[in-house]
Each structure stands twice: as C-alpha cells, then as structure tokens.
Structure 1
Amino acid sequence: MKRFAFVAATAVLGLATLTACGGGDTTPAAAPQSSPSQSATAAPKLATADVGTFGKVVVDGNGRTLYVFDNDTASPSKSTCDGECAALWPPVPAGTGTPQLDGINPSLVGTVTRTDGSKQLTLAGLPLYQYAPDAKAGDAKGQGVLGKWWVVGADGKKITTPASDSGTSGY
C-alpha cells in the first residue's frame, strides 16, 4: 500500500509540473518571492559561480542558480512562463537602476516586459528565472526539467549538460 501511495504521489507531482510549465497559460504572473537583496525595487545583481558539474553558471545576488526556458525567445525577447509556471519558476525581476555584474558582459544584459507589465532581466535576450525548489546557493535542481529548462552560462547560452545523480534533476 505504501508503494502505491508513493507512485500515486509521484504521478501527481509530475502532472502538476507538466501543467505548470506547459507554456500555454497566459494569466498574469504572481509576484515572485524575492529576498531583500534581490527585490523588484533594488538594483539586481548577476554573477557567475561554479555549480555542480556545469562549470561557471549565472547566479543572482544570493548565489541562486538562474535558468532559461526553451519556450521563450531571445529576438525579440519574450517570456512565456506566466501564472502557475511563474510560481514554480520565478522570473528574475529587473528592479531599478543599473544591474551589478560580476563576470557578465554588460552588453548581454537587458530586460523584457512580461504580460503583467513587470520587467524581467534577460541575458543575451533570453529571460532569466529561478527554480523554487532550489533551496540554497549551489542548487541546480531545475536543470533539464521537462527537457526545456537549463542553467545558463555567462555568455547567455544554455548549458545542456545532464544533471549529476546527486539529486539535481528536479524530481
């Protein structure tokens, strides 16, 4: 009976993830939960850090791994993750002022206006996101989720290296 409950719970979680990230929901995004150092009003910070087996990836001011989504476009910049998707994959807010950058070429950093009117940071035109289950700096549990979510390098290109077996697959 315990095995059935585990399988059922896993199936429900998988379906919820697929539904949340299907890209078809165009309802306005919920406001992302931001820490004081990465709030929508502060100047955002982007840096690079060695994360897992991915090498140097882009992180926010708190050291949290940032991601790009295959359903988004870079030219023109467009975010397609709204509603429930944005609750699981919070957009990185553009904030106000010039972003603080460490290891990132300023010419690659920009913003995109989301469907709810808020501004989101972009790198090489692609909108940037966090992954809610990443609990701390160095986590990269969102890597490869649904074959559409990827950590991103300082050059703005997605890194498709598979997640290691150390629990970074997002499931």
Structure 2
Amino acid sequence: MSKKYANVTAAAALALFAVTVTGCGQSGGNAHSQASTSAAGVEAATSSPSPAVASEIKAERVDGLGRILVDGKGRTLYLFDADKSSKSTCTGECARDWPPAVTGSGSSGSPSASSTESPSGSASASPSGSQSASPSGSSSSPAGSSASPSILPSAGTGVQAGLLGTTKRSDGTTQITYKDHPLYYFEGDKKAGDVKGQGREAFGGKWWVVDPNGDKVTTIPPGAGSASPSGSASGSGSPSASGSSSASPTSSPS
C-alpha cells in the first residue's frame, strides 16, 4: 500500500513540475513579446516627424537676401508657390521635407501682442459663448486665414502683426500664414541662418523665403539649394538654384 502511495505521489510531483515549467515558458514568451512590441512603438514614435511649432515670427537680415521671415530661434521660413490661397497644398512626403510652421495647441501657443485674454489665460468670450476677436485679429488679418488670437504666434521685430494669420491643415493642426501664405521650414536647414531651401523646385512648385511685406524673395545667394532634405524621394527635392538667375529682383509680389 505504501509503495502504491509513493508512486502516486511521485507522479503528482512530476505533473506539478511540468505545469510550472510550461507556465514559466509562456510567461517569458509574453514578456519578450511585450518588450518587442514596446520597442517597436518607441521606434515608430522616434521616426515620426515632430511638429515644427513657431511661437514667434520675426524678420532678420540674411546675407544676399536682406530681411526675411524667421521664427523665434532664427530658423528660416518659406512660402510655396503652389499654394494659391491660405490653404496648404503640401501634405504627406512634402510635409516631411518641408515641415509646416504650426502653432501650439490651445493655451500652449504664444498669443500675439494684440490678443485679449482673460486672467485664466483663455480667450475672452461674448455673452453668447463665442470668442471675441481682437480688432487687429479680425479687421487687419488677410481674408481667408483664421484670426484666432489665442493661438497666433507673437509678432517679433520687423514683422507686421496684421499680416499674421492661421489656416487649418488636413491633419487638424493649425499652420501659420503671413499675408495669406502658409509658412514652412526646410528639412535641409540645420541651423539658424541656413537658407538651403531657397529657390528649390519640389512637389510641383518653387520655394522662396519671405520678406516683411509678405512677398517672396527670388534672389539665390551662394550656398542656397545645396542640401538635400533627409528622407526625400529621389528627384523630389532637387534644387533649382543652378538654373535660377542670381540677377533676379530681391522680391516680387506674390
């Protein structure tokens, strides 16, 4: 009887050991799977382009171009010839090579000097609940661009606040406009003062820096158009500087 009991006990111990080993293996596999998924998520987030938020627009002098629009950090801003209104036509791969200059969302955006805000930081509201626009945001902003004063960037030195505006993009972000021109960065510009996007022809139009009056500047200074944006398809960002005349006028009406 004791021998039979010993055999049953041994069998039970073996069964328990097998279940334990199987459970550990599954747990390890799940942990490995979760770690792989997490790593893939981090990699995907890292590879996604970050928004190019501009809290200030100002004018600075650049050799060979005169005074042009830049953001608060001195990064050059461009207009796109293919944009025929305040509505941007640059999306997808175009927006990767030429990141739109967007506002911060809600209260994180820097308001323009002409905006009116309540003590809590939110835009003042009329009795009916609608936002009340400041005089400069409504009457002097160009037609076709949004005049939401709570998200407009501040107008820095040399910039006309009345020419600043915004436009909604297809992805829901709010892009900054100047004299109804949506503004963009160039992926090939790596530091303040770079103008390597000047005069490029890509994605169906040419790209130009902008003067304080809101007109494109068509002069091609030395070194402009010499850098290819990272991640652009072959031929999509080919420079046109070599075929542009350096004797072009410094600015022309848009």
Gaps of 5+ in 1: 1-29
Q: Which has the higher strand share?
A: 1
Distance of 2:226 and 2:89 partners within structure 1: 20
Does 1:59 find its partner at 2:70? yes
Give the paired residue count: 131
Residues 41-87 of structure 1: per-residue CA shift (max 9 Å, x gap): xxx1001111120000000111001000001123xx11011011001
Residues 69-116 of structure 1: per-residue CA shift (max 9 Å, x gap): 001123xx1101101100110000122333211211111000011111
RMSD, aligned CA: 1.6
Residue 49 of structure 1 is matched in structure 2 by 60
TM-score by length of 1: 0.71
Amino acid at match of 1:119: T
Larger radius of gyration: 2
Residues 12-35 of structure 1: per-residue CA shift (max 9 Å, x gap): xxxxxxxxxxxxxxxxxx75444x
TM-score by length of 2: 0.49
Query: RCO (CA 8 Å, sep 6+): is it higher in 1 or 2?
Result: 1
Does 1:81 find its partner at 2:90? yes
Distance of 1:52 and 1:81 partners within structure 2: 28
- Percent identity over the alignment is 45
Q: 1:152 aligns with which of 191, 205, 210?
A: 210
CA contact (8 A) 2:198 2:225 kept: yes
Amino acid at match of 2:213: D
Cα offset for 1:168? Answer: 1.6
CA contact (8 A) 1:143 1:170 kept: no
Distance of 1:134 and 1:52 partners within structure 2: 15
CA contact (8 A) 2:199 2:224 kept: no
The secondary structure found in structure 1 opposite 2:96 is helix
The secondary structure found in structure 2 opposite 1:85 is helix
Amino acid at match of 1:45: E
Cα offset for 1:124? Answer: 0.1
Distance of 2:70 and 2:102 partners within structure 1: 13
Q: Which has the higher helix share?
A: 2
